Amino acid sequence: MSTPFLLASRFAGVTTSPVRDILSVVNSRDVISFAGGIPDASLFELDDFRAAFDHVLSHQGARALQYATTRGEPELLEQVAARLSRTLPTHPDQVQVTSGSQEGIFLVGQVLIDPGDVVLVEQPTYLAAVQAFAMAGARLVAVDTDEHGVLPDALAAAIAGHHPKFVYLIPTFQNPTGRSMPAERRRAVADVLLATGVPLLEDDPYGELRFEGEAALPLASLPGMAAQTVLLNSASKVMAPGLRVGWLRAEGDILRSLEVAKQAVGLQSAVTDQLAVARYLATCDLDAHIARVVAVYRERRDAMSAGLARMLPEGASLTRPEGGMFLWARLGGATDTALRLPTAVEEGVAYVPGWPFFAGEPDRSTMRLSYVTNHVDVIAEGLDRLGRAFGW
Amino acid sequence: MSTPFLLASRFAGVTTSPVRDILSVVNSRDVISFAGGIPDASLFELDDFRAAFDHVLSHQGARALQYATTRGEPELLEQVAARLSRTLPTHPDQVQVTSGSQEGIFLVGQVLIDPGDVVLVEQPTYLAAVQAFAMAGARLVAVDTDEHGVLPDALAAAIAGHHPKFVYLIPTFQNPTGRSMPAERRRAVADVLLATGVPLLEDDPYGELRFEGEAALPLASLPGMAAQTVLLNSASKVMAPGLRVGWLRAEGDILRSLEVAKQAVGLQSAVTDQLAVARYLATCDLDAHIARVVAVYRERRDAMSAGLARMLPEGASLTRPEGGMFLWARLGGATDTALRLPTAVEEGVAYVPGWPFFAGEPDRSTMRLSYVTNHVDVIAEGLDRLGRAFGW
């Protein structure tokens, strides 16, 4: 019997994320995973969050379990505004709570994209953003990048040629490459956006996970950019992803549209978790927590970086991120990392093949490796397995 | 300065929910609200949920704060499948967790609706479903109803005339009318759907809140209907809406598409809340809780029903629901309940004008009144104020 459900055509172009498909296999086997951007759960501040939830359910229980406004809990909006204001003056009224930044990406797509509209993205870019924009009917156009991120001239040419609805960038510790845009490149990119009036969706989930180098300001904080930018942020990478608490900062009428869209998608984010994150931010030291996490992740980046540098074949290249979660390797030549993945999983190690991150012509010799999930000794063992899988 | 953000045209037809706009005013003033479908927070099982969260964060903390699968936590899928199986045999693999049923409605819209596709809805119907379908580009066509719900002949005619992608029904204690379809009407409606092969989106958030009368089986449980139905359910009305835990039951390929859509919308629902609801279901007596809630809500329905029946002018009509949260009044004549709302709020009482619930030509003399939020003495006072506002 055929299925009675006829799928919408927007679903023709939407496939599942290869990252998550691999994860579902990997979780059930003895595989060292460099695949997902999965924080090390042993670093979660479990006691602090247990206390925060207990406080919320003891003192704000009726509120925590009740319907609430779509915009978000006032305590959380205030905490978020205060934190954002370290780099960009932000009023609580300019904040919208989202269920992780993924929902922020999806909402912006729903609100701005008409079928066939162009969205400019980095080459390569975050693949779940590609999915979210595709569901709104976007045509994605990739803009060339170098080791400092998107190329201003290429961006200007793509804007002139494609009249995009907006540009989606992850300027700091980009997913999947780990690269960051230096201050000068940020200014040059902002100049292009300001001159053309094209809005920016700036995704910044990793910015606070900096191991070294000078702190980078969000593009939204450059003169003139705030009104033209939706800035996305999240508790997932610096506190805990299971809570599904994220937020966006925007100005003007678009905030109302994003709120209406969120109402249609799911009324509001989990109130319990919003209040618990607000309580955590009000009573705990997130900066001290981030410092602990950064020290551990730095050591793991060093271990993976050094190990890979020793073993990669001639002609291969490797990014060296100053923070965040990911390394990006380009093996070059005819190697197809997707074809090699089953062998790697058989050897007991997983990574994400690079091709799904490309909106344009993919470089199939690339791969994304996360260094944050595993201890350094596990990383060493995983790299040995990787070497065997690739015959290095 | 004009806004740099050009909205997608799908947003031309999407406006905010009048319910939520009214709520935001009402919350900040001394107004007795019959407007929202807001459970009485004093009935929440706060101690049980505090214990459930504490257990989860004490024994499953690392999991609760971590990324997880899009489908949902296994413990919750099992609890939900067991509960659904009381009326419809359900395997955990046939369940998808959603962030409330609202997300279920939205996901089905995303997966099935191409711009211009017709969705058949009851006249009147749940207005946030209208919003969610509109965001996917649906054209909504209203099907006539009587006191027993949608009319089978009208449904058959609408299917023949409009070739809808699916039919959206709330067969039990409908929002906004409170009406339920009797068993015979359910069979007749199912026959039309089975004969035409048109899928059903069955929304059943209120079904367990039955005060009297014979338990109604979901349409999905009628012979042949399960494969053709997506059945939506939620913790919101029977446990707590702030947790944003809902679920859907479906069969076959559409489950995979719904999962992919959910991944793009927000990766997964809050893991903490999923595990807490699973723990609550495994260790607490939801049926006993529902019995307590039902006893209170029944008394409140009686109070509001009797009070309104005494005061409504000649020619007005009123539903008498056997469960759920809402009464629906039709004043008749030229009265426009939307125009009278500001006067009512000034008198200190709020309701939802009926017009936004109509996909077709609205009856502007209608209004929705929720009896669940307030104690019977507050209901009496609220009705007095309503009488003054309308000059009854």
CA distance B66 to A38: 8
pLDDT of the residue at B60: 95
Measured between beta carbons, the chain A residues lying within 8 angstroms of B264 are: 14, 102, 106, 128, 131-132, 134-135
Tell me which amino acid residue A57 is: L
Here the tokens at position B104 are 């279920």
- Helices A74-84 + A271-283 axis angle, to 10: 50
Q: What pLDDT does A380 receive?
A: 97
Minimal Cβ distance to B100: which of A44, A57, A266: A266
**pLDDT at B189 (0 to 100):** 98
Task: Return the pLDDT at A28.
Answer: 63
- Nearest-Cα distance to chain B for A267, in Å, is 7
Token pair, residue A52, equals: 């925060």
pLDDT value of residue B27: 65
- Whether residue B263 and residue A131 make contact (CB cut-off 8 A), yes or no, is yes
Whole-angstrom Cα distance, residue B6 to residue B289?
A: 48
pLDDT in tens, A352-385: 999 989 988 899 999 999 999 999 999 999 999 9
The angle at the Cα of A299, spanning A294 to A300, to the nearest 5 degrees, equals 95
Q: How far is A204 from A180, CA to CA, in rounded Å?
A: 11
Indicate left, alpha or beta for A76 from its phi (over 0: left) and psi (-120 to 50: alpha). Answer: alpha
Flag if A270 and B242 touch (Cβ within 8 Å): yes
Residues of A in contact with B241 (CB under 8 A): 65-67
Determine the CATH number of domain B9-45+287-390: 3.90.1150.10
CA separation for the pair B39, B256 (Å, rounded): 33
Chain A residue with Cα closest to B127: A264
Answer for the pair A389, A381: CB distance below 8 angstroms, yes or no. Answer: no
Give the containing element (helix H, strand E) for A203. strand A200-203
The predicted pLDDT at position B10 comes to: 77
Length of chain B: 392
Between chains, do A111 and B11 touch, taking CB under 8 Å as contact? Answer: yes
In B, minimum Cα distance to A244 occurs at B270
d(CA B95, CA A327): 36
> pLDDT confidence of A2, banded at 50, 70, 90?
low
Nearest chain B residue (CA) to A239? B65
- Contact: A100, B264; criterion CB under 8 Å: no
Place of tokens 């997506």: B230
**Over chain B (392 residues), what is each successive 10-residue block's mean pLDDT?**
73 62 68 91 95 96 92 97 97 96 94 94 92 91 95 98 97 96 97 97 96 94 96 92 94 92 90 97 96 97 96 92 96 92 92 90 95 96 96 91
CB contact set of B12 (below 8 Å; sequence gap of 6+): none
Residues A35/A37/A38/A40 CA torsion (nearest 10 deg)? 100
- pLDDT for position A1: 43
Nearest CA in chain B to A98: B266
Does the pLDDT value for residue A345 go beyond 80?
A: yes
The nearest CA of chain A is from the CA of B343 a distance in Å of 24
Residue A328 has pLDDT above 70, yes or no: yes
For residue A360, the model assigns a pLDDT of 83
Q: Give the residue from A192, A267, A274 with the most B CB atoms within 10 Å of its CB, the best one to mutate.
A: A267
Tens digit of each residue's pLDDT (9 = 90 or more) over B87-113: 999 999 999 999 999 999 999 999 999
Between CA A288 and CA A243 the distance in angstroms is 20
C-beta pairs of B332-341 under 8 Å, 24+ apart in sequence: B332/B365, B333/B365, B334/B365, B335/B364, B335/B365, B335/B390, B336/B364, B336/B365, B337/B364, B337/B365, B337/B366, B337/B367, B338/B364, B340/B389, B340/B390, B341/B22
Report the residue of A1, A3, A5, A10 to disrupt the B interface, i.e. the one with the largest count of B CBs within 10 Å.
A5
Token pair in block for residue A359: 């909106």
Do residue A58 and residue B64 have CB atoms under 8 angstroms apart? no
Residues of B in contact with A72 (CB under 8 A): none
Q: Do A102 and B243 touch (CB under 8 A)?
A: no
pLDDT at A308: 95
Q: What pLDDT is attached to residue A128?
A: 87
Is residue A188 within a helix (H) or strand (E), and if so which, with residue range?
helix A183-196
Give pLDDT, residue A5. 82
**What is the nearest CA distance from B334 to chain A, expressed in angstroms?**
31
The answer on pLDDT for A21 being more than 80 is: no
Q: How confident is the model at residue A30 (pLDDT cuts 50, 70, 90)?
A: confident
What is the full DSSP assignment across A248-312? EE--TTHHHHHHHHHHHHHSS--HHHHHHHHHHHHHS-HHHHHHHHHHHHHHHHHHHHHHHHHHS
Size of interface A-B (CB pairs under 8 A): 283
Contact A62 B50 (CB under 8 A): no
* Whole-number pLDDT of residue B11: 76
Which residues contact residue B225 at a Cβ distance below 8 angstroms, ignoring those fewer than 6 apart? B190, B193, B194, B200, B219
Q: Which residues of B touch A263 (CB under 8 A)?
A: 16-17, 20, 128, 131
Strand partners, B97: B247
pLDDT at A178 over 60: yes
Question: Lowest-confidence range among A88-102, A111-125, B28-42, B246-260?
Answer: B28-42
- Residue-level pLDDT at B1: 43
The CATH number that domain B47-283 falls under is 3.40.640.10
Neighbours of A282 (CB within 10 A): 14
Asked if B259's CB is within 8 angstroms of A17's CB, the reply is no
Nearest to B263 among A4, A20, A264 (CB): A20
Find the CB nearest B24 among A54, A69, A99. Answer: A69
Q: What are the pLDDT digits (tens) for B189-207? A: 999 999 999 999 999 999 9
How large is the average pLDDT for residues A48-71? 94
Q: How far apart are CA B104 and CA B233, in angstroms?
A: 9
Please check whether residue A285 is in contact with residue A294, taking contact to mean a CB–CB distance below 8 angstroms.
no
pLDDT (tens digit per residue) in A230-256: 999 998 899 999 999 999 999 998 999
**How many beta carbons lie within 10 A of that of residue A48, not counting itself?**
18
Task: Please give the Cα distance from B123 to B177 (Å, whole number).
Answer: 10
Q: How many whole angstroms separate alpha carbon B144 and alpha carbon B177?
A: 13
Verify whether the Cβ–Cβ distance A7 to B112 is below 8 Å: yes
C-beta atoms of A102 and B165 within 8 A: no
Angle at A258 between CA A255 and CA A263, to 5 degrees: 125
In contact, B62 and A44? CB cutoff 8 Å: yes
Block residue for tokens 């090390």: A40
**Segments making up each domain of chain A, as ranges:** 11-45+287-390, 61-283
- Per the CB < 8 Å rule, is B270 touching A265? no
CB contact under 8 A, A110 and B44: no
What are the two backbone dihedrals, phi and then psi, of residue B256, each rounded to the nearest 5 degrees? -65, -40
Q: Mention every residue, 6+ apart, whose C-beta is less than 8 A from residue A125.
A: A142, A168, A170, A174, A175, A176, A357, A358, A359
Average per-residue pLDDT in chain A? 92
Between CA B314 and CA B312 the distance in angstroms is 7
Using DSSP's 3-state secondary structure scheme, residue A32 falls into strand
- The answer to whether A102 contacts B264, with C-beta atoms less than 8 Å apart, is yes
Residue of chain A with shortest Cα separation from B254: A5
Roughly how many angstroms between the first and final C-alpha of chain B, as a whole number? 49
Chain B residue closest in CA terms to A106: B265
Q: β-strands A326-330, A349-350: how paired?
A: unpaired
Kindly report the CATH number that applies to the domain delimited by A11-45+287-390.
Answer: 3.90.1150.10
Q: Which residues, 6 or more positions from A39, have their beta carbon under 8 angstroms from its beta carbon? A: A236, A237, A240, A241, A293, A372, A373, B66
Chain B residues lying within 8 Å of A8, measured CB to CB: 110-114, 117, 136, 165
One of 1.10.1740.10, 3.40.640.10, 3.30.1330.60, 3.40.30.10 is the CATH number of A61-283, namely: 3.40.640.10
B333: left (phi over 0), alpha (psi -120 to 50) or beta: left
**In this structure, are strands A326-330 and A366-370 parallel, antiparallel, or unpaired?**
antiparallel
H-type helices in chain B, by residue range?
18-26, 46-59, 61-64, 74-84, 100-112, 127-135, 152-162, 183-196, 254-266, 271-283, 286-311, 337-347, 376-390
Do A8 and B254 count as a contact with CB atoms less than 8 A apart?
no
CB contact under 8 A, A132 and B15: no
Give which of B94, B268, B138 is closest to A264, Cα–Cα.
Answer: B138
Chain A's closest residue to B128, CA to CA, is A264
Nearest by CB: B38 against A10, A67, A115 = A67
* Within this chain, domains A11-45+287-390 and A61-283 share the same CATH topology: no
Interchain pair B6, A243: CB under 8 A: no
Contact in structure between A148 and A182 (CB atoms under 8 Å): yes
Q: DSSP of A63-119, one letter per residue?
A: HHTS---SS--HHHHHHHHHHHTTTS---GGGEEEESHHHHHHHHHHHHHPPTT-EE
Give pLDDT, residue A18. 59
Predicted ipTM? 0.91
Q: Token pair of B146, please?
A: 């009587």
Return the structure tokens found at A14.
């939407």
Give the Cβ contact number of residue A154 at 10 Å: 17
Of the partner residues A111, A199, A272, the one whose CB lies closest to the CB of residue B273: A272
Rounded to a whole number of angstroms, the distance from the CA of B184 to the nearest CA of chain A is 24
**Contact residues on chain B for A227, CB-CB shorter than 8 A:** 1, 4
What region does B240 belong to: left with phi over 0, alpha with psi -120 to 50, or beta? beta
| Residue among B6, B63, B111 whose CB faces A7 most closely | B111
Task: Please tell me which of the candidates A17, A61, A244 has its beta carbon nearest to residue B263.
Answer: A17
- The confidence band for A22, taking pLDDT boundaries of 50, 70 and 90, is low
Q: Decide if B270 and A273 are in contact by the 8 Å CB cutoff.
A: yes
Type and span of the H or E element at A318: strand A317-318
